[in-house]
Amino acid sequence: MRLPGTWIGLVCGLLFSVLVVAPGVARAQGTRSLTGVVVDADTGAGVSGANVVVKDAASPATAAPLVSTGADGSFTVAKAPAGELTIEVSATGYITIKTTVRAGKTATTVAVSLRKELPPAPPSPPPSRTIAGRVRDAVTGAGLVGARVQIVGTTTTVVTDDDGLFTIPDAPLADVALQVSADGYAAGSIAAEAGAATVKIALESLAAGGPAPDAPRTRAVRGKLTEQLTGEPVIGAAVKVAGTAQVVLTDETGSFQVDNLPLADVVLEVEAEGYKNLKILALATSTEVLGVLDFAAQGEQIILEGRAPVIVRSNLANGASVVDAEELNRVSSPTLEGALVGKISGANIQSNSGAPGGGMQLRLRGISTINGQSSPLYVVDGVIVSNVAVPSGVNAITAAAAGGSASNQDNPVNRIADLNPNDIESVEVLKGSSAAALYGSKAANGVVIIRTKRGRAGKNQVSVTQRVGMSQASNTLGSRRFASSEEAAAAFGAAVASLFTGTTYDHEAAITQTSAAYETIASASGGNDKGTYSASVLVRDEPGVVIGTFYEKQSGRIGIGYQLGDRVTLDVGANIVHSTSDRGLTNNDNTGVSYYVALARTPSFVDLRRGPDGRFPDNPRAGSNPLQTVALFQNREDVWRFIGSANATVALWNDAENEVKLIGTSGADRFSQRNDVFATPELQWEPADGLPGTAIEGVTNNLNYNLGVSGIWRHTPKSEKFKNALSLGLTYEAVDLVSIYTFGVNLSQPTIDTATGLNTQELAVRTKDQGLFLQEEIALLDDRLSLLAGLLAERSSLNGNSDKFFVFPKLAATYELKVPEDTFDLLRVRGAYGEAGNRPNYGDKYTGLNAAQSIDGLPGTGLGPNLGDPEIEPERQREIEAGVDMALKDQRAVLELTGYQRSISNLLLQRSLATSTGFTTQFGNGGALRNRGLEAALQVTPIEGDVTWMTRGLVTLNRSTVTDLPAGPFNVSTVGFGAGLGAFRIEEGKSATQIVNDFDGDGDLDPVGDGEPDFRIGWANTVTWKAFELNTLVDWQHGSDIINLTRLLYDAGQVSPDYVGAGEARLEAFSSGDMRPYIEDASFVKLREISVAWSAPAKWVKNTMSLANLRVSLSGRNLMTWTNYSGLDPEVSNFGNQPVGRNYDVAPYPPSRSFWLSVEAGI
């Protein structure tokens, strides 16, 4: 046996274990000698160095000395107690197994097979029912050869083999009767119920008496097979005596008996559909064995099949990160991305503001585009779901986009926030373009594959989680304190100084609140062999830290898997979400209404509090009174969303060597968003234009739908020298989004029809994509080498030529090295190359006239600002990556290291034009960008035992360079306020995220910062002790510069806390064109998550509470931030999600910390 080379990988997350105990003959009294062997459940190879402790089950204190297994996995316990024994076997990296050898038996040999950790999901119900059985002589019990077994009413007939065994593979899933006949025997019949997998029938010999049995020179071994997870018996498993044709099947209780075994060691090979094969060593002296079967490696969710590797998922050659449900939901997070922060290497996840309801950006492996689409592709159960951020339209009030500045400063929610993190079974993030090539031209930003929870066959499980939380603002800016009215007069003049009374008001505190939040989650799941279900509901209510803001969500979801007939498996899911929110009025504005813009001009001695008449005073220094704004202004959003998926798998062909499946997938994601902004006439700023009152109503309807059909042919020759899978398929995806805004002014009621002035705006996006893919995968050398090649051809309506197919190839290989077992558990190298695309944005190919304007009721058309490119093509990303996965002996340290280079050519650029051409920007392809980076994950378990401490670090490092820019340098036009306030400039040879400013006034723009972090580190710790578990997650970002315009506004308003001296000096530099004092280092260390959980003792829970389980936890999110950044939060983006050009801090929503108490009960 070759040991180390056959060990399956760690990182893949599918780690297995199986236990087999073969009790022998117990001695009558005193002690006995016990021998055994410990093997790997997957490979049957002996496990060396496993610790075996044998105890007296009745008095555990009586234990034999600990022994370790030898190189071949064998062990001997010289003096084992004589009674019922408890055998505990542990080996690092494997699930510790405890089993009992019953008293009174004479077992002297034990075979234990260990499974690696983390069992995979259970198998889907078998596509067709198989009836297995045995026809025996009623007297002797010997199998009858050549007996005919027929399903009554059909022509299906099978003949028994040498042992009397038969199998009817395609029996209907209904009660049937079997008619059995054999020469020389009376015919018999037996009922095989729909649920029964095996039948036994004994036939009476027609010859009187029959042959006398031989004297036994053999022995019989009885055994029982159970399922690892549930302990349920495994029915219908075939137990084969190695080296012979002898096969028996387990019965309804999972029991079997093998007769006529030689009086020597034999190996029993167990095979059962849906389970991993198992080898049991039955020593010459054994009469009884136990087997525990583990589910077969699955990774075959039908959703992923066709596009993903199907043979050996663990050998995926690309950096894929999987985050499971527990990791996601340890600390309550309002949104999915929030729950992913710090848990994925290679990912840079930053929030755009602290507003309730999310608004986060997930970037994988650096800058993937400059002007293309920046969101990763989100796929939920096969449905490509929308992650658009639809603005509220509040720009009509803030005029943030006036003055030539870019728009999209409304602080919108990106719609992936609608997903309920608690519904998620796992999140898999495919980073490399070679993995991303699965989704072709949409995958350049990475693919986030989300699997929602599915039921498992077995007992119904119901659980309820109640969380109660609290959130509070975690940072404030502060405000300058004035000592005297003279100081006030020097700053603001006599009139304003007359308001100085010596009292200082904390306006920031006055607009924020500490609020209570709650979340209730209930879920149920279960099923039987025909179908499974899983359902959940969620109600979450989370007030924001700014008064009047909130985020509420109600969500319900159901997922059903069903076996339809013999060959068809259906999987349908439906998720409905309703969310409402009020995000207040933050970010940039040019009318003085955004909270922090107003506060930047409000001295702390000005009293803004509501007067005794119930009205707020006007802010004498700014366009608005933020206390009034938080009290009266409404910025509501109401979203209904439905995500439905239906997938079907049809087994077309099945034989010993081949399996052909046809898979159909379909999904739809429909949401309807309504935005209601209402600024009542009472607000300070409203009468200013003579048109008091503003209402904005936005209605957005979006439909994403996709269809796919694919076929997979798997071929494994009898020799098992290789495994092979060929996939071929078609996909179609479409998006249809329409937003219609109505802006009304001069109104008194929050209904738009009272307005006397109305504007409307419509924005539509429609895309259609079609793809054709072909993939070949082959696994060799006992799965140690796997090779994958694929091609995806796609066309898209977003491309200039919508009929042209663009082809994206990928290649990947992994190889597991044979390494010295005393040093490594695993050493694997992998490499991949792949190409992916990024489609143009909708509209990039058109040059449109601007027809949405009028004068005096006369419509007119003008030039649009953008010159489209009718020949526009997708960007092409070529990525090569190589990695090594390593696990040191006993898994004390596990390291994953990946290096990559992504070269993106044919960049989608929105190039600034010489505006004398009549156009401001031009879309087109050109130029190239390169990212190089490293990702590392290191997991160490320094302490293991009563107290276990596991610590894990993720390092993400990326550097981008613009390698080619034929059209010359340009400032990113979709963000920013011009180079005077710091601009992102794309320039050959420079970082793609450089920030420029002409600080020396020489007319040239000089680099003054860079938006990309030097590195990010996520550091997670888990400490368990008895029933307690402590988890922490620390997120460290080093580097990344922010353009802190909030500070500039505070300085310009002379109210920065450090204005005197420091602020004046900054302003002095700024007034000479030097922006550098406001470009700050955004490095931070945040304590993202901390939780302490206690699981109540199972017995107590069951007896006292009548519950299945009970878990109580206390947790916190974003509790601490260590940073030198002077603003509210170093994670901020005034312009929302941007591939390049985040990191503008303009009066953002303040960040919050939250605490949660959770009680989770299983019923």
Partner 1 sequence: MTRITALFALCASVAALSACGIDVPDLNNPPIEDLRDNPTRENVIAATTGLIIGQRGDVAAANGYVAQLGILGREAYNFDGADPRFIGELLAGPLQKGSPFGGNFWAGPYANLHLGSLVVAGADTAAGFSDSERAGVKGFAHTMMALDLLRVIVTHDTVGAVIDVDNPVDELAPIVGKDAVYAEIARLLDDSATELGAAGTAFAFPLPSGFTGFTTPASFLTFNRAIRARVAVYTGDYAGALTALGGSFLDDTVANLDGLNVGAYYTFSTRPNDLTNGLVNSNIWAHPSLKADAQTNGAAVDARFTRKVRQLAMGDGAGMLESDLKFNAYSATAPVPIIRNEELLLLRAEALWGLNDPAMLPAAIADLNRVRTISGGLAALATTLTADQVEDELLYNRRYSLMFEGGHRWIDLRRFDRLTDLPLDREGHVRNQRYPIPQAECDARPGEPACTVESM
CB of 921 to partner 1, least distance (A): 8
Build a one-symbol-per-residue string for 460-499: x at contacts with partner 1 by CB under 8 A, - elsewhere: --------------------------------xx-xx---
Residue 679, interface with partner 1 (CB under 8 A)? no
Interacting span for partner 1 (CB under 8 A) from 284-292, 573-581, 863-871, 1094-1102: 863-871
Output 353 or 1152, the one with its CB closest to partner 1: 353
What pairs with residue 876 in β-bridges?
837, 905
CB of 623 to partner 1, least distance (A): 5
CB of 272 to partner 1, least distance (A): 26
Nearest to 1063 by CA among 1082, 1077, 1044, 1073: 1077
Is the distance from CB of 71 to CB of 46 less than 8 angstroms? yes
Task: Give, as ranges, the residues between 178 and 207 that touch partner 1 (CB under 8 A).
Answer: none
Task: Give, as ranges, the residues between 977 and 1036 that touch partner 1 (CB under 8 A).
Answer: 977-981, 983, 998, 1001, 1003, 1005
Interacting span for partner 1 (CB under 8 A) from 98-106, 883-891, 975-983, 1030-1038: 975-983
Sign of the CA dihedral running 372, 373, 377, 383 = negative
Residue 786, interface with partner 1 (CB under 8 A)? no
Residue 854, interface with partner 1 (CB under 8 A)? yes
DSSP code at position 440:
G
Judged by CB under 8 A, the residue of 858, 966, 1061, 1106 near partner 1 is 858
Output 828 or 985, the one with its CB closest to partner 1: 985
CB of 512 to partner 1, least distance (A): 20
Judged by CB under 8 A, the residue of 48, 108, 420, 770 near partner 1 is 770
Return all residues near 890 (Cβ < 8 A) that are at least 6 apart: 49, 91, 92, 93, 825
Interacting span for partner 1 (CB under 8 A) from 321-329, 385-393, 422-430, 681-689: 681-689
Task: Give, as ranges, the residues between 278 and 297 that touch partner 1 (CB under 8 A).
Answer: none
Tokens 């589910």 belong to which residue?
295
Amino acid at 139: V
| Token reading at 831 | 């490499």
Residue 846, interface with partner 1 (CB under 8 A)? yes
CB of 407 to partner 1, least distance (A): 13
CB of 970 to partner 1, least distance (A): 6
Residue 746, interface with partner 1 (CB under 8 A)? yes
Residue 146, interface with partner 1 (CB under 8 A)? no
Judged by CB under 8 A, the residue of 27, 674, 715, 768 near partner 1 is 768
Build a one-symbol-per-residue string for 886-915: x at contacts with partner 1 by CB under 8 A, - elsewhere: --------------------------xxxx
Residue 60, interface with partner 1 (CB under 8 A)? no
Quote the CA–CA distance of 414 and 8 in Å, as a whole number.
39
Sign of the CA dihedral running 1126, 1131, 1135, 1140 = positive
Return all residues near 19 (Cβ < 8 A) that are at least 6 apart: 89, 97, 99, 112, 113, 114, 115, 228, 290, 292
The b/e string for 857-869 (b: 16+ C-beta within 10 A; e otherwise) is eeeeeeebebbbb
Angle formed at CA 464 by CA 458 and CA 469, multiple of 5 degrees: 150
Rg of the chain over Cα atoms, rounded to whole angstroms, equals 34
Residue 154, interface with partner 1 (CB under 8 A)? no
CB of 1097 to partner 1, least distance (A): 52
Judged by CB under 8 A, the residue of 775, 796, 891, 1037 near partner 1 is 796
Residue 1144, interface with partner 1 (CB under 8 A)? no
Build a one-symbol-per-residue string for 687-716: x at contacts with partner 1 by CB under 8 A, - elsewhere: -xxxx---------------x-x-x-----
Output 889 or 990, the one with its CB closest to partner 1: 990
DSSP code at position 1063:
I
CA dist 917 → 487, 920, 922 (Å)? 52, 8, 11
Greatest CA separation for the chain: 126
How many residues contact partner 1, by CB under 8 A? 120
Residues across the chain: 1163
Residue 1104, interface with partner 1 (CB under 8 A)? no
Output 396 or 424, the one with its CB closest to partner 1: 396
Residue 591, interface with partner 1 (CB under 8 A)? yes
Task: Give, as ranges, the residues between 800 and 829 that touch partner 1 (CB under 8 A).
Answer: 802-803
CA dist 799 → 454, 873, 878, 924 (Å)? 38, 5, 19, 11
Is the distance from CB of 221 to CB of 258 less than 8 angstroms? yes
Q: What are phi and psi of 1003, to 5 degrees?
A: 90, -10
Residue 404, interface with partner 1 (CB under 8 A)? yes
Judged by CB under 8 A, the residue of 9, 531, 623, 874 near partner 1 is 623
CA atoms within 13 A on the CB side of 1094: 6
Quote the CA–CA distance of 1095 and 1086 in Å, as a whole number.
27
DSSP code at position 546:
B
Is the distance from CB of 735 to CB of 704 less than 8 angstroms? yes
Judged by CB under 8 A, the residue of 745, 836, 995, 1034 near partner 1 is 745
DSSP structure string for 333-382 = -SSHHHHHTTSSTTEEEEES---TT--EEEEESS---SSS--SPEEEETT
Amino acid at 709: V
Task: Give, as ranges, the residues between 1066 and 1085 that touch partner 1 (CB under 8 A).
Answer: 1070-1071, 1073
Output 226 or 767, the one with its CB closest to partner 1: 767
Nearest to 1112 by CA among 440, 231, 222, 466: 466
Is the distance from CB of 950 to CB of 967 less than 8 angstroms? no
Interacting span for partner 1 (CB under 8 A) from 12-20, 96-104, 300-308, 614-622: 614-622
Judged by CB under 8 A, the residue of 597, 646, 695, 937 near partner 1 is 597
Amino acid at 998: D
Task: Give, as ranges, the residues between 1042 and 1071 that touch partner 1 (CB under 8 A).
Answer: 1048-1049, 1051-1053, 1070-1071
Build a one-symbol-per-residue string for 639-658: x at contacts with partner 1 by CB under 8 A, - elsewhere: -----------x-xx-----
Residue 753, interface with partner 1 (CB under 8 A)? no
CB of 573 to partner 1, least distance (A): 22
Residue 791, interface with partner 1 (CB under 8 A)? no
CB of 613 to partner 1, least distance (A): 20
Quote the CA–CA distance of 342 and 324 in Å, as a whole number.
14
Residue 611, interface with partner 1 (CB under 8 A)? no
Could you tell me whether strands 921-925 and 928-943 are parallel, antiparallel, or unpaired per DSSP bridges? Answer: unpaired
Output 189 or 407, the one with its CB closest to partner 1: 407
Interacting span for partner 1 (CB under 8 A) from 418-426, 806-814, 965-973, 1135-1143: 965-973
DSSP code at position 703:
E
Task: Give, as ranges, the residues between 336 and 395 that touch partner 1 (CB under 8 A).
Answer: none
